[in-house]
Amino acid sequence: MANKNQDNTYKRGFNDGLAIGLGYLSVSFSFGIMAVSSGLTWWQAVIISISNLTSAGQVAGVGIMAASGTLIEMFLSQLVINIRYSLMAISLSQKVDSSMNLPSRAILGYGITDEIFGVAMAADHDVGRRYFAGLMTLPILGWTLGTLLGAVLGSILPENLTVALAIGIYGMFVAIVLPVAKKNKRILTVVLMAIMFALIIRYVPFFSFLSGGFAAIVSAVLASAIGAFILPVDDIDDKEAV
């Protein structure tokens, strides 16, 4: 910790956020396309991205808007999909230094994403407010810019192309889940249960009262709860954040 002050500069955080920002460009590009192909305007897509800064939650949110779902459904979907951020926030709160006062936490908490959290936790120094503010700068920019590009392009391109492009975000979801499920049997089990519940809810007429958004939440909560009950975490080392 000899160079603690040097580590906790805005500039250092800014640089550490570059790779995340670039990665976010492509994911949010897909989101932008998906949002306009669901009927939103380009500026609505951009506002959603800059204010939410989360991938799966935004995809679910747009789905609920497009289907004119209820506000309860919107609340529950965001709660379930994003509840992992609470855990990250708690972990991160143990690693911040004294510069991270209450107002800073209230403002900078907005920037806790899977990747920003991962980089902050991997830093070999305590996390100061300047560093963390720097760290989230390029990811926020990348996320917003990618959405703008995707949304604008999605409004111009022919329909058969934008519909195909919109599927890209599901491809990314597969690319996040499958490599982890391949290595981790407990996550594989949960994933298979989630697929099973999702298919049952979708195709068994009894569950037709559940909309697409709710179906995904119910399946995910059921699979994770059963998974947690029969397969609790026994080792912290095979714990992986998305």
Q: Which of 81, 119, 127, 136 binds other proteins (CB under 8 A)?
A: 81
Interface of this chain with other proteins, residues 192 to 221, rule: CB under 8 A: 193-195, 197-199, 202, 212, 215-217, 219-221
Q: Is 185 in the site for other proteins (CB under 8 A)?
A: no
Q: Is 180 in the site for other proteins (CB under 8 A)?
A: yes
Q: Is 97 in the site for other proteins (CB under 8 A)?
A: no
In angstroms, the CA 37 to CA 168 distance is 12
Site size for other proteins (CB under 8 A): 107
Q: Look at the alpha carbons of 141, 139, 151, 74 in this order and tell me if their dihedral is positive or negative.
A: negative
Q: Is 89 in the site for other proteins (CB under 8 A)?
A: yes
Which segment (1-9, 21-29, 121-129, 142-150) binds other proteins by CB under 8 A?
A: 21-29
Q: Which of 6, 178, 185, 208 binds other proteins (CB under 8 A)?
A: 178
Backbone angles phi, psi at 231, to 5 degrees: -130, 70
CB of 87 to other proteins, least distance (A): 5
Cβ–Cβ < 8 Å for 126, 13? no
Interface of this chain with other proteins, residues 38 to 77, rule: CB under 8 A: 39-40, 44, 47-48, 51-54, 56-61, 63-66, 68, 71, 74-75
Residue 144, number of CB atoms within 10 A of its CB: 21
Interface of this chain with other proteins, residues 127 to 146, rule: CB under 8 A: none
CB of 58 to other proteins, least distance (A): 8
Q: Is 26 in the site for other proteins (CB under 8 A)?
A: yes
Q: Is 31 in the site for other proteins (CB under 8 A)?
A: no
Q: Is 153 in the site for other proteins (CB under 8 A)?
A: no
In angstroms, the CA 111 to CA 143 distance is 12
- Chain Cα centroid distance, residue 69: 21
CB of 84 to other proteins, least distance (A): 5
Q: Which of 186, 207, 210, 211 binds other proteins (CB under 8 A)?
A: 186
Q: Which is nearer to other proteins, 15 or 86 (CB)?
A: 86
Q: Is 112 in the site for other proteins (CB under 8 A)?
A: yes
Q: Which is nearer to other proteins, 5 or 225 (CB)?
A: 225
